Amino acid sequence: MLWETISVVRDLPRLHEIATVMIRYGWGDLVRVLGISGVLERAGRVLHWHSTSEISQLDAPVRIRRALEELGPTFVKLGQLLATRVDMFPPHWIVEFEKLHSHVPAVPYEVLHPGLVGALKGDPAEVFAEFDPVPLAAASIAQVYRATLKDGTKVVVKMRRPGIEGVIRADLRVLEHAARLLESEMPDSRRYDPVHIVSQFRRSLSRELDLAKEARNIDQFARHFAGDPLVKIPRVYWEFTNDRVNVQEEIVGKTGVSPEALRASGLDPKLLAARGADTVLRMVLEHGYFHADPHPGNVLFLPDNRIGMIDFGMVGMLTQPRRNQIVDLLHALTRKDEQALLQVLLEWSGESEIDEDRLAYDVTELLQSYDDLQLKDVKIGALLNDITALMRDNNLLLPADLILLFKTLITLEGLGQQLDPEFHMIDHVTPFVERIIQQRYTPTALFARGRKSVREALEVVADLPRDLRHLLRDARRGRMKIDLDLKRLDHFGHQLDSASNRLTMGILTASLVVGSSIIMTVEGGPQLFGLPLFGLLGFLIAFFNSLWIIFSIWRSGKH
């Protein structure tokens, strides 16, 4: 608790900046609800509670997007994460979040050079025969440069920007405090689970900060496509790669989706669209490990109509059960099977409270809207958007691992249609689904599943005597426990916990005051301003503890 108090005091300047921006863009009510305004005003930081007339006339999605842009890289990336939450936000919000890009000025190479020397454990001139100091790309976390190794190999070097970890760490502290307060002060927000979103965001940023993680992703994809001459994955040079720098083979190819430009280069846009779709679908349905950002800048078109892929910072993973559910979903959609589709959605709903009758009706209505369409005319992107809208209307959230998948398939279909106006994603999905369904019912697969089921059943029977013995022993010793989830007691429990915390902090604070007073009367020892150092430290800690107790009591009186 003491550490949290000191953390809030340390982050006051950033809190003031965030609150000011949010108020200017018309989100003052949210600042009040979160209690940020009270903290800042008591700290003597005056807030101006008004927004310009021009800003107040903008739609809410535009205002939040502009506020995130002004708050800097961490919040821009938060907006990019929210752009994937098609299950939480309606389409016009998603459109605004998708406009967020990390447009940041490049850090001069002279500033990055000391970090590069430390990452390489030596002079870059000993590693690279040539190094272009003009960045190929600059983002909020890293910058990318072209270079040539001593053996003449062309490579790209991704380097982490200096000081970025401290900036992100401070912003994440603020976001975590805000998420907890949002759940506490706005009960309706709990179904969106803001604390989990921030936790997911923290993990995502941690992966982006660790450039070696991206290198491991590249190696994984390279193993999956090792025998495929039509797919090119860059090679990682591990002897020069770590968490701060990533050195990988440069892939030179055509970018962009202009069919005319590709034809002029001797490439076939129609064939490229088909191969690109098949490549990503293999990742999703066969490997369970897929590139989660296949936009035109990350997909390169190589001679002989080969596909090259770069930038593996964002990847998605699917377990085997989840892949089976995806196949079942796609199979149900292609056959317009209401019961099969409903079953998959119920599995995805988890423990959420759900009106099954309403969900079943919505599923039937959804499939009926596609009755008049031929299979080749069904757009996967529109269909997935309809499914997420259906889940949103039924207060269901998509499992986290499916959010990136839906976004990837929608992006992939858009890329294919730009390359080939006659591209139909469903034509490529159907053969994969049918092949996997057929594989499920081969004699070998049926025998394997049967053997697994028998083994599991035998294990349950074999463990039954032991489990009963443990149960009876615990009952005899009075150690049997029954867990009851009484949600109405949660609030009382939180109040009791807060009261005991305040009491404990009060006793500790009083002890610090008494102990520090005694130290003040003792001669000798280190001094500061003519007074005993340890006594001053004790009074300082007691002061911060007192602030925390006063603030906690004031907040409890607001409920």
25 and 125 belong to one structural domain: no
Residue 540 falls inside a structural domain: yes
| 181 and 191 part of one domain | yes
Cβ atoms < 10 Å from Cβ of 302: 17
Domain count for the chain: 5
- Dist CA 219 CA 208 (whole Å): 16
Reduce the DSSP state of residue 147 to 3 states and report it: strand
Burial (CB count within 10 angstroms: exposed 0-12, middle 13-18, buried 19+), residue 369: exposed
Residues 6+ apart with CB under 8 A from 34: 178, 181, 182, 185
The CB density around residue 36, as the number of other CB atoms within 10 Å, is 22
Strands (E), 186-318: 231-232, 245-249, 289-291, 299-302, 306-309, 315-317
Which of 250, 284, 303 is a domain's end point?
250
Catalytic residue among 293, 311, 328, 362: 293
Q: Is residue 478 part of a domain?
A: no
* Residue 420 annotated in active site: no
pLDDT of 5 reads: 42
Give the end-to-end CA distance of the chain in Å, rounded to a whole number: 21
- The pTM for the full model equals 0.68
Residue of 304, 408, 294, 394 lying closest to 350 (CA atoms): 394
Does any domain span residue 517? yes
Q: Which CATH number characterizes residue 110's domain?
A: 3.30.200.20
263 and 394 assigned to the same domain: yes
51 belongs to a structural domain: yes
CA angle, 123 as apex, 121 and 126 as ends, to 5°? 105
80 and 152 belong to one structural domain: no
85 and 199 housed in the same domain: yes
| Contact partners, residue 512, CB within 8 Å, separation at least 6 | 538, 539, 541, 542, 545
Q: Do 96 and 109 reside in the same domain of the chain? A: no
Output the tens digit of pLDDT for each of the chain's 559 residues. 333 444 455 566 677 777 777 777 776 666 665 555 554 554 445 555 555 556 667 788 888 888 888 887 788 888 877 787 776 778 888 888 888 765 567 888 889 899 899 988 888 998 999 999 999 888 778 889 999 999 999 999 999 888 888 778 888 888 887 788 777 777 767 666 788 778 878 887 888 888 999 999 999 999 999 989 999 999 999 999 999 999 999 999 888 778 888 998 899 999 999 999 999 989 988 898 888 888 788 889 999 999 999 988 888 888 888 888 888 888 887 777 888 888 888 888 776 677 888 888 988 888 888 776 666 677 877 888 888 888 888 877 777 778 788 888 888 888 888 888 888 888 888 888 888 888 777 788 777 767 877 787 778 788 888 878 877 887 777 776 666 555 545 555 566 666 666 677 777 777 777 777 767 666 666 766 666 777 777 777 777 777 767 766 666 654 4
Of the three residues 223, 250, 277, the one that is the final residue of a domain is 250
- Residue 290 shares a structural domain with residue 434: yes
| pLDDT value at residue 48 | 54
User: In this structure, is residue 480 part of a structural domain?
Assistant: no
Q: Is residue 485 part of a domain?
A: no
The pLDDT value given to residue 399: 78
Q: Are 192 and 303 part of one and the same domain? A: no
Question: Nearest Cα to 556, choosing from 491, 509, 486, 487?
Answer: 491
Q: Count CB-CB contacts under 10 A for residue 377.
A: 10
Q: Let me know if residue 262 belongs to a domain.
A: yes
Q: What angle do CA 178, 183, 188 make, to 5 degrees?
A: 130
What is the spatial distance between Cα 310 and Cα 291, in angstroms, rounded to a whole number?
9
Identify the bridge partners of residue 302 per DSSP, sorted by sequence position: 306
Beta carbons of 366 and 390 less than 8 angstroms apart: yes
Helix H, strand E, coil C: the string for 234-255 is CCECHHHCCCCEEEEECCCCEC
Asked whether residue 69 falls in the same domain as residue 145, the answer is no
Same domain, 108 and 86: no
CB 350 within 8 A of CB 399: yes
| pLDDT value of position 242 | 92
Query: Quick one: 131 and 177 in the same domain?
Result: no
| Structural domain boundaries enclosing 25 | 2-102+168-205
- On whether residue 482 sits in a domain, the answer given is no
Residue 296 sits in the same domain as residue 399: yes
Best CA proximity match to 292, nearest among 401, 382, 434: 401
Alpha-carbon separation of residue 425 from 231, 302, 318, 363, 383 (angstroms): 19, 22, 20, 22, 11
